[in-house]
């Protein structure tokens, strides 16, 4: 990829200078000049230029030399994360998407499952559309640990050579796959929200947000196999269950030293404070600075409970000590994409918006009609949260008979 | 105890606003800052040094102006700083970045702990920390929200999970990535600032790393960006008008179906 | 305006600004409303090496002087004129030791103050001795190796929170002002207690209390300078500290103006932001000019002090007088520009007006400052 300024078109208007997040553009002799030491090829200037005077020469898949043939690599794999012996819903979401990819490529869809006594769960993976389920069953794999999991997965990949490996962008997925990708020298794209196939080159087109979701990038991995992605939770649709779907469970066992871990898992602590996990929730009710005190968060909790949802908080609310960090939504907290996100007394600073703007429906309640949150809200209510929220709780209770 | 902290200089998104009329980002005047998660990494390293003694070395890979970020880290209590900068590194993806940083760390010398922020706010990948650990073949604890103890070359730390946290024990040397909850970073001190002004920043170029040139920069990056675009901005929708009771009624009507599903 | 600060002074200003904006601003309203003493902020200042910026390096400071003190006080006061006092009043209580302390006294007290482990306070005012400081009734009677203190000091900033107090008491009441002496008294000394915490109009995050001495026995080593020098100590201390009060006033005024400009850009009336109305713009311009003039006067004064010039009384009185009058005027106008919102406690601006008022009153009322200035003018004229 390269970027250049077409000097004949450049008018020296400085719009690009302002748009550059990296201060990489200067106007010299009335023309824009890019400092390549600073430029990251993010493309922000291209959008800003009214005269089409900056061009980013993009690599198209056909421009890329393919030195190697990858004929021996085939099949689409999904790493099926399990906790407490239960395959997590993110795995079923990935199986749904991966089925499409496998069909486009004309290959098989395979699930990979590591754990202890997981045969029944492996069968569920088949029921969700996998042709095969690779199962490595060992007491040593009962709980996730970085080293045994990554060594086993590396081994499986080396042995069976999948062309695509997908994994949920969860805390486990991100820790595991990053290590695996190094081990097998594969390309890895984090936190994808879109996956597609370039059929001609058999390339996985991986689309992901960067810069807090303000820029989208499509990424390929032309010269390495497998092509690996972590995929954001709740973006893809879950594969439907079909108990008649047939597939093969392939059980693998390894020499015990592959299970050796230098780190030891001493304990798993679940914080029972919340019944609903933020990243899993279909409905999130969040409170911000406008909630004013920890006691007032009760109003938010009541509404969340009524809607069967989770409680979120803005950074301002967390920094004031009204809610713990695990509730924080936004740039330095969690990225969420529930079906419904209700922002109460949250002004909507950009750091908050990047954490929730991919929600399907956003409701904003704020007394300031100019609050930026309204610019992303599907439904906005300009009003006092202390009047509106309890009223909403009451009316939802009635409507939902809860 | 020798601690290495890997940091990244990123654009300060706290100054980014959305233009309410065009719904696009206003980026003018955006400063470069230390990635916010790396601030927690620096603070944790300095606290460990204060508790156990030793040396905190800050490492960054980036353009020459990333030196500013290193000097800021010194003003916050770090002891030494290394800038890994070369045009050969341009265009590195997370694989090539992890490789380059791990080569540089081996050049820097013996260490007990490597600390990284959990992810950078511009790329949001969270892949480089574990990547470095894999290249160096050392154990890792990701998303650490608390270091419980370090004793007899064993670290015990809490790793954040979706449901709570895991308590993990790792032998040293190891790599950890940290989340915001781990500490509250201090502000720079006057003595720190004076030291930062004077300190000599060690510089490493590609030739200093004994690295495989084919594994560096764009060439060494398995992933390639083929397209960059701005997602269609989310448009503001409908403003519901009326008293609390009335607007609540309207919203319940609009959302009832969605919630039952 | 470029005041040609040194590199180190720029660093001090930047650190103080960062503390003010990131740490003080978020808590200012709460600490004001609840009268909370800002120990957490003192800790942050200590960790950032701010507590020793006016103390020599050999006593653990960073070796600056009045200019450094003024820069930090101004920045901190932009966010809260009350919280900044924990810092500025410590300087006031420390100056007698810096100016008149023996090597032993300096070694004993300055390092802990420079590190921010201890705060200091200065005790002069009494119920019957405000502007008329010669009327003090607190006595110090010499008994062998000790002095016995009796009496009550009133409205002492940092009272109860500070560990180190410099107190003016009379060793010979018959001599009036010439019978006074200055003493260092440590918190916890038997017979030294604190009265109630005052409920004040402004600077509410600052602690203001009585110091009550009842047969309080202190070793003679704690005498500063000599018997009879008490008022010289006090006056020289005020010469040093007045630019600090003036800097507090400049900070309060600037903080209020910054908020007001911001508000005026956002506040819309008649379809336009109110910052576009010329009548209001003129008010802004006047305020900014007056603040800059007081800042220039304060900095000039601080630099004079740092140059070793001791004939500073008139100039430091002028700086304190002018800056505090400007602060009162500016904050009153800022409340006016906020309109009805300005009068509400929900908005931060009225606090600046409350905080500004004290700067016209303490460390010598502005009427006393005018007397000092006028007396100098008359003396200078007579000497011609």
- Nearest C-alpha neighbor of A218 from the set A10, A61, A381, A390: A61
Q: Does a structural domain hold residue C1?
A: no
| Stretch (H or E) spanning B97 | helix B94-108
DSSP string of B67-80? Answer: HHHHHHHHHTT--E
Chain B residues with beta carbon closer than 8 angstroms to that of A214:
16, 25, 230-231
Between CA C265 and CA C259 the distance in angstroms is 10
Check residue A292 and give left, alpha or beta (phi > 0: left; psi -120 to 50: alpha). Answer: left
A46 vs C115 pLDDT, higher one: C115
Chain B residues with beta carbon closer than 8 angstroms to that of C62:
190-191
**pLDDT at residue A272 in the model:** 61
Q: Which of C7, C22, C49 sits opposite B189 (nearest CB)?
A: C49
Chain C residues with beta carbon closer than 8 angstroms to that of B186:
44, 47-48
pLDDT at B23 over 60: no
Best of B22, B244, B246 to substitute, by most chain A Cβ atoms within 10 angstroms, is B244
Shared domain for C190 and C134, answered yes or no, is: yes
Residues C15, B197: C-beta atoms closer than 8 Å: no
Burial of A385 (0-12, 13-18, 19+ CB in 10 A): buried
Instruction: Decide if B103 contacts A182 (C-beta within 8 A).
Output: no
pLDDT in tens, B46-60: 999 999 999 999 999
Q: Which residue of C has its CA nearest to B75?
A: C48
Between CA C97 and CA A55 the distance in angstroms is 68
Shared domain for C165 and C42, answered yes or no, is: no
Rg, C-alpha atoms of chain A: 24
**What are the C-alpha distances in Å from C125 to residues A160, A174, C210, C244, C249?**
87, 65, 10, 18, 21
**pLDDT at residue B29 in the model:** 60
CB pairs below 8 Å between B and C: how many? 36
Residues of the domain holding C207 = 121-230
Between CA A57 and CA A6 the distance in angstroms is 12
> Span C290-297, mean pLDDT?
98
Residue B14 pLDDT level (bands cut at 50, 70, 90): low
Q: Does B188 lie at the interface with C, CB-CB under 8 angstroms?
A: yes
Q: Is C206 helix (H, G, I), strand (E, B) or coil?
A: coil
Residue that finishes a domain, picked among C214, C230, C246: C230
A136 forms beta bridges with A114, A252
> Span B196-208, mean pLDDT?
95
b/e burial code for range C70-107 (CB count within 10 A of at least 16 → b): bbbbbbbbbbbbbbbbbbbbbbbbbbbbbbbbeeebbe
Residue B261 pLDDT level (bands cut at 50, 70, 90): very low
Residues 107..136 of B with a Cβ closer than 8 Å to A: which? 121-131, 133-135
pLDDT at B185 over 60: yes
Two tokens at B173?
């040397």
Best of B47, B76, B193 to substitute, by most chain C Cβ atoms within 10 angstroms, is B193
Residue that finishes a domain, picked among C119, C138, C157: C119
CATH H-level superfamily of A76-259: HUPs (3.40.50.620)
> Span C206-225, mean pLDDT?
96
- Sign of the CA dihedral with B97 first, then B103, B108, and B110 last: positive
Q: Which residue of B has its CA nearest to C9?
A: B190
CATH 3.40.50.1220 residue ranges in chain A?
Answer: 283-400
Chain B residues with beta carbon closer than 8 angstroms to that of C8:
190, 194
CATH number of the domain located at residue range(s) A283-400 in this protein? 3.40.50.1220
- Quickly tell me which residue has 């997908």 as its tokens: A166
pLDDT in tens, B71-91: 999 999 999 999 999 989 988
Chain B residues with beta carbon closer than 8 angstroms to that of A387:
244
Burial of A375 (0-12, 13-18, 19+ CB in 10 A): buried
- Nearest C-alpha neighbor of B5 from the set B50, B84, B59: B59
Kindly provide the ipTM of the predicted complex, given to two decimals. Answer: 0.88
Note the pTM of the prediction, 2 decimals. Answer: 0.85
Q: Percentage of chain B with pLDDT > 90?
A: 67
Residues of the domain holding B132 = 2-215
Instruction: Decide if A93 contacts A234 (C-beta within 8 A).
Output: yes
The yes-or-no answer on residue C186 being catalytic is no
Between CA C224 and CA B59 the distance in angstroms is 52
**pLDDT at residue A40 in the model:** 72
- Quickly tell me which residue has 């960790």 as its tokens: C47
Q: Please give the backbone phi and psi of residue C355, each rounded to the nearest 5 degrees, phi first.
A: -70, -35
Q: Please give the backbone phi and psi of residue C157, each rounded to the nearest 5 degrees, phi first.
A: -65, 140
Rg, C-alpha atoms of chain C: 21
Shared domain for C73 and C142, answered yes or no, is: no
User: How far apart are the CA of B64 and the nearest CA of chain C, in angstroms?
Assistant: 23
Between CA A308 and CA A283 the distance in angstroms is 7
Chain A residues with beta carbon closer than 8 angstroms to that of B16:
21, 214, 350
Residues B188, C18: C-beta atoms closer than 8 Å: yes
Q: Does a structural domain hold residue C2?
A: no
Instruction: Decide if A75 contacts A108 (C-beta within 8 A).
Output: yes
Q: Is A46 helix (H, G, I), strand (E, B) or coil?
A: helix
| CATH assignment of the domain containing B193 | 3.40.50.620
Q: Which of B27, B126, B142 sits opposite A44 (nearest CB)?
A: B27
Catalytic, out of C34, C103, C363, C380 = C363
- Quickly tell me which residue has 């230029």 as its tokens: A49
User: How far apart are the CA of B183 and the nearest CA of chain A, in angstroms?
Assistant: 11
Q: Does B164 lie at the interface with A, CB-CB under 8 angstroms?
A: yes
Shared domain for C18 and C98, answered yes or no, is: yes
Instruction: Decide if A39 contacts A24 (C-beta within 8 A).
Output: yes
> Span C247-261, mean pLDDT?
98
Q: Give the CA-trace dihedral at C368, C369, C372, C376, to 10 degrees.
A: -150
Best of B39, B122, B227, B243 to substitute, by most chain A Cβ atoms within 10 angstroms, is B227
Residues B259, A19: C-beta atoms closer than 8 Å: no
Instruction: Decide if C119 contacts C159 (C-beta within 8 A).
Output: no
| Stretch (H or E) spanning B142 | strand B140-151
Residues B194, C15: C-beta atoms closer than 8 Å: no
- Nearest C-alpha neighbor of B99 from the set B8, B5, B221, B15: B221
Instruction: Decide if C312 contacts C372 (C-beta within 8 A).
Output: no
Q: Does a structural domain hold residue C343?
A: yes
Residues A222, B224: C-beta atoms closer than 8 Å: yes
**pLDDT at residue B16 in the model:** 56
User: How far apart are the CA of B188 and the nearest CA of chain C, in angstroms?
Assistant: 6
Residues B190, C49: C-beta atoms closer than 8 Å: yes
Residues C49, B186: C-beta atoms closer than 8 Å: no
Q: Does A383 lie at the interface with B, CB-CB under 8 angstroms?
A: yes
Shared domain for C109 and C170, answered yes or no, is: no
Two tokens at C294?
């007081």
Residues 259..278 of C with a Cβ closer than 8 Å to B: which? none
**pLDDT at residue A1 in the model:** 61
Q: Does a structural domain hold residue B34?
A: yes
User: How far apart are the CA of A107 and the nearest CA of chain B, in angstroms?
Assistant: 23
Neighbours, chain B (3 or more CB pairs < 8 A): A, C
Shared domain for C147 and C243, answered yes or no, is: no
- CA geometry: angle at B109 spanning B108 and B111, to 5°? 110
**pLDDT at residue B45 in the model:** 98
Best of A169, A171, A371 to substitute, by most chain B Cβ atoms within 10 angstroms, is A171
C349-359 vs C230-266: helix crossing angle, rounded to 10: 160
- Nearest C-alpha neighbor of A230 from the set A193, A260, A267: A193
Tell me whether the omega of the peptide bond preceding residue B173 falls within 30 degrees of 0, making it cis: yes
User: How far apart are the CA of A212 and the nearest CA of chain B, in angstroms?
Assistant: 7
Q: Does B219 lie at the interface with A, CB-CB under 8 angstroms?
A: no
Chain B residues with beta carbon closer than 8 angstroms to that of C21:
none
Residue that finishes a domain, picked among C197, C230, C263: C230
pLDDT in tens, B155-184: 999 999 988 899 999 999 999 999 999 999
B31 forms beta bridges with none
Question: How many CA atoms within 13 Å lie on the side-chain side of A300?
Answer: 34
| Total of domains in chain C | 3
Tell me whether the omega of the peptide bond preceding residue A226 falls within 30 degrees of 0, making it cis: yes
Residue C93: CB partners within 8 Å, gap ≥ 6?
C119, C120, C121, C122, C158, C162, C164, C165, C166
Two tokens at A127?
């029921």
| CATH assignment of the domain containing C146 | 2.40.110.10
**What are the C-alpha distances in Å from A263 to residues A69, A145, B174?**
38, 8, 9
Between CA A281 and CA A336 the distance in angstroms is 9
Shared domain for C136 and C98, answered yes or no, is: no
Q: Is A266 helix (H, G, I), strand (E, B) or coil?
A: strand
Residues A372, B18: C-beta atoms closer than 8 Å: yes
pLDDT in tens, B103-138: 999 999 899 999 999 998 888 889 999 999 999 999
Between CA B235 and CA C180 the distance in angstroms is 75
Q: Does B30 lie at the interface with A, CB-CB under 8 angstroms?
A: yes
Residues B238, A280: C-beta atoms closer than 8 Å: no
Q: Which residue of A has its CA nearest to B143?
A: A171
Mean pLDDT, 10 residues at a time, over chain A (402 residues)? 83 85 84 82 79 75 57 93 94 96 95 96 96 96 96 95 95 95 93 91 89 79 93 89 94 93 93 69 92 91 89 90 88 86 92 86 91 89 92 89 66
- Nearest C-alpha neighbor of A163 from the set A98, A253, A218: A98
Shared domain for C192 and C244, answered yes or no, is: no
**What CATH class is the domain A2-58?**
alpha beta
Shared domain for C268 and C379, answered yes or no, is: yes
Residues B187, C47: C-beta atoms closer than 8 Å: yes
Strands (E), chain C: 120-123, 139-143, 146-157, 164-170, 180-186, 192-197, 208-219, 223-224, 268-269, 272-273
Q: Is B16 helix (H, G, I), strand (E, B) or coil?
A: coil
Q: Does B194 lie at the interface with C, CB-CB under 8 angstroms?
A: yes
**What are the C-alpha distances in Å from C249 to residues A107, C245, C328?**
76, 6, 8
Best of C5, C7, C15, C268 to substitute, by most chain B Cβ atoms within 10 angstroms, is C15
Q: Is A80 helix (H, G, I), strand (E, B) or coil?
A: coil
Over B188-211, what HEC string results? CCHHHHHHHHHCCCEEECHHHHCC
Q: Which of C7, C8, C48 sits opposite B188 (nearest CB)?
A: C48
Chain A residues with beta carbon closer than 8 angstroms to that of B131:
178-179, 181-182
Residues C15, B186: C-beta atoms closer than 8 Å: no
| Stretch (H or E) spanning B4 | strand B2-7
Two tokens at C87?
């810092």
User: How far apart are the CA of C46 and the nearest CA of chain B, in angstroms?
Assistant: 9
Residues C48, B197: C-beta atoms closer than 8 Å: no
Q: Does C57 lie at the interface with B, CB-CB under 8 angstroms?
A: no
Shared domain for C180 and C274, answered yes or no, is: no
């Amino acid at each position: 990829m390269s970027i250049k300024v077409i000097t004949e078109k450049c008018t020296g208007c400085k719009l690009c200078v302002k748009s550059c997040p990296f201060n990489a553009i200067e106007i010299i002799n009335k023309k824009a000049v890019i400092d390549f030491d600073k430029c990251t090829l993010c493309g922000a200037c291209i959008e800003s230029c009214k005269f089409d005077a900056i061009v980013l020469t993009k690599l198209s898949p056909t421009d890329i030399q393919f030195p190697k043939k990858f004929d021996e690599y085939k099949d689409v794999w999904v790493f099926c994360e399990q906790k407490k012996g239960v395959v997590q819903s993110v795995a079923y979401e990935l199986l749904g998407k991966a089925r499409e990819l496998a069909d486009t490529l004309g290959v098989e869809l395979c699930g990979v499952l590591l754990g202890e006594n997981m045969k029944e769960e492996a069968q569920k993976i088949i029921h969700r559309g996998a042709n095969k389920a690779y199962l490595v069953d060992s007491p040593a794999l009962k709980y996730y640990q970085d080293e045994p999991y990554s060594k086993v997965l590396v081994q499986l990949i080396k042995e069976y050579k999948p062309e695509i490996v997908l994994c949920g962008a969860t805390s486990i997925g991100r820790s595991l796959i990053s290590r695996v990708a190094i081990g097998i020298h594969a390309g890895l794209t984090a936190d994808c929200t879109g996956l597609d196939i370039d059929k001609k080159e058999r390339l996985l087109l991986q689309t992901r947000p960067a810069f807090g979701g303000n820029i989208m990038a499509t990424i390929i991995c032309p010269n390495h196999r497998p092509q690996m992605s972590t995929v954001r939770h709740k973006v893809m649709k879950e594969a439907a269950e079909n108990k008649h779907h047939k597939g093969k469970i392939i059980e693998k066992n390894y020499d015990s030293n592959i299970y050796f871990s230098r780190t030891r898992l001493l304990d798993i602590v679940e914080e029972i404070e919340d019944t609903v996990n933020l990243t899993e929730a279909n409905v999130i009710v969040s409170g911000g600075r406008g909630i004013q005190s920890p006691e007032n968060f009760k109003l938010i909790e009541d509404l969340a409970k009524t809607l069967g949802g989770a409680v979120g908080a803005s950074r301002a609310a967390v920094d004031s000590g009204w809610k713990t960090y695990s509730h924080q939504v936004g740039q330095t907290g969690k990225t969420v994409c529930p079906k419904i996100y209700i922002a109460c007394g949250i002004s909507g600073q950009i750091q908050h918006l990047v954490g929730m703007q991919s929600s399907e429906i956003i409701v904003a309640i704020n007394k300031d009609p100019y609050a930026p949150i309204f610019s992303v809200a599907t439904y906005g209510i300009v009003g006092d949260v202390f009047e509106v929220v309890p009223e909403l709780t009451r009316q939802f209770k009635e409507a939902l008979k809860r | 105890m020798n601690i290495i902290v890997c940091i990244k200089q990123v654009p300060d998104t706290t100054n980014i606003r959305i233009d309410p009329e065009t719904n696009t980002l206003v980026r003018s005047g955006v400063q470069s800052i230390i990635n916010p998660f790396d601030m927690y990494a620096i603070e944790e390293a300095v606290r460990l040094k204060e508790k156990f003694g030793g040396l905190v070395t800050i490492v960054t890979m980036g353009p020459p102006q990333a030196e500013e970020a290193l000097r800021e880290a010194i003003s916050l209590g770090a002891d030494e700083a290394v800038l890994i900068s070369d045009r050969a590194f341009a265009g590195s993806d997370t694989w090539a970045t992890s490789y380059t940083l791990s080569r540089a760390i081996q050049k820097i010398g013996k260490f007990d702990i490597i600390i990284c922020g959990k992810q950078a706010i511009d790329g949001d990948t969270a892949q480089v920390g574990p990547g470095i650990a894999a290249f160096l073949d050392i154990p890792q604890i990701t998303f650490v929200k608390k270091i419980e103890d370090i004793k007899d070359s064993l670290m015990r730390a809490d790793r954040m999970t979706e449901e709570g946290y895991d308590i993990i024990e790792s032998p040293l040397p190891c790599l950890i990535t940290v989340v915001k909850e781990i500490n509250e970073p201090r502000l720079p001190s006057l003595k720190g600032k004076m030291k930062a002004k004077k300190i000599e920043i060690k510089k490493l170029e590609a030739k200093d790393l004994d690295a495989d040139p084919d594994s560096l920069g764009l060439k060494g990056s398995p992933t390639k960006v083929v397209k960059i675009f701005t997602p269609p901005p989310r448009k503001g929708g409908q403003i519901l008008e009326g008293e609390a009771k009335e607007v609540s009624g309207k919203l319940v009507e609009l959302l009832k179906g969605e919630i039952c599903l | 305006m470029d005041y040609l600060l040194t590199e180190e002074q720029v660093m001090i200003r930047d650190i103080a600004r960062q503390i003010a904006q990131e740490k003080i601003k978020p808590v200012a309203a709460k600490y004001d409303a609840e009268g909370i003493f800002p120990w957490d902020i003192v800790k942050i200042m200590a960790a950032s090496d701010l507590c020793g910026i006016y103390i020599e390096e050999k006593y653990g400071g960073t070796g600056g002087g009045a200019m450094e003190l003024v820069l930090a006080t101004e920045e901190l006061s932009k966010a809260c004129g009350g919280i900044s006092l924990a810092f500025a009043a410590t300087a006031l209580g420390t100056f007698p030791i810096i100016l008149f302390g023996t090597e032993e006294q300096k070694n004993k007290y300055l390092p802990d103050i420079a590190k921010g482990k201890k705060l200091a306070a200065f005790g002069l005012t009494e119920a019957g001795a405000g502007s008329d400081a010669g009327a003090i009734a607190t006595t110090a009677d010499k008994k062998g190796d000790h002095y016995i203190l009796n009496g009550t000091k009133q409205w002492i900033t940092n009272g109860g929170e500070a560990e180190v107090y410099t107190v003016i008491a009379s060793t010979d009441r018959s001599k009036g002002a010439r019978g006074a002496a200055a003493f260092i008294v440590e918190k916890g000394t038997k017979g030294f207690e604190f009265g109630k915490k005052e409920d004040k109009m402004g600077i509410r995050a600052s602690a203001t209390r009585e110091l009550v001495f009842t047969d309080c026995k202190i070793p003679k080593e704690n005498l500063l300078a000599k018997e009879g020098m008490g008022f010289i100590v006090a006056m020289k201390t005020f010469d040093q500290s007045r630019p600090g009060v003036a800097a507090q006033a400049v900070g309060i005024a600037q903080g209020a103006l910054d908020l007001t400009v911001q508000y005026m850009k956002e506040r819309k009336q008649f379809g336009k932001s109110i910052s576009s109305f010329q009548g209001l713009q003129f008010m802004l311009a006047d305020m900014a000019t007056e603040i800059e003039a007081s800042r220039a006067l304060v900095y000039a004064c601080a630099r004079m002090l740092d140059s070793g010039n001791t004939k500073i009384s008139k100039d430091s009185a002028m700086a304190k007088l002018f800056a505090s009058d400007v602060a009162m005027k500016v904050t009153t106008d800022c409340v006016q520009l906020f309109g009805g919102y300005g009068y509400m406690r929900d908005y931060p601006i009225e606090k600046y007006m409350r905080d500004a008022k004290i700067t016209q009153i303490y460390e010598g009322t502005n009427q006393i400052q005018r007397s000092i200035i006028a007396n100098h003018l008359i003396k200078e004229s007579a000497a011609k």
